[in-house]
Amino acid sequence: MVVAGVVASTWAIARYQPVWAMGVLLFFALLDMLLYAWMPDVLVCYRCHARYRDPQQGEAYPAFQLETSERYRQESRRLAEARDGSGARS
């Protein structure tokens, strides 16, 4: 969707039609907002990234935290480096 918006907006700018370019960007922003409002929540496991689409399950868990996700991602990376022996040695 982002690529389609960028391509259509760039095409309109290239044809010297800035109003259409802004209209295209606004259209895709509105479409994004509507999809965000309509799409059901998904429960994602921080550790293995498994996705659970049952809305009843999602209510029992706290909202997604980017900081927690990053901690698990870095932990996974460190473990993989330690296992493979490709980590920095000093």
Q: For binding to Zn ion (CB under 5 A), which residues are involved?
A: 45, 47-48, 50
Rounded to whole angstroms, what are the CA distances from 29 to 2, 7, 32, 40, 55?
A: 9, 14, 5, 19, 26
What are the backbone dihedrals phi and psi of residue 48, each rounded to the nearest 5 degrees, phi first?
-115, 0
Q: How far apart are CA 40 and CA 65, in angstroms?
A: 18
Q: Least distance in Å: CB of 51 to Zn ion?
A: 10
Closer residue to Zn ion, CB minimum distance, 15 or 49: 49
In angstroms, the CA 25 to CA 12 distance is 11
| Cβ closest to Zn ion, residue 20 vs residue 52 | 52
Q: Least separation, in Å, of the C-beta of 50 and Zn ion?
A: 5
Closer CB to Zn ion, residue 26 or residue 45? 45
Least distance from C-beta 49 to Zn ion, angstroms?
7
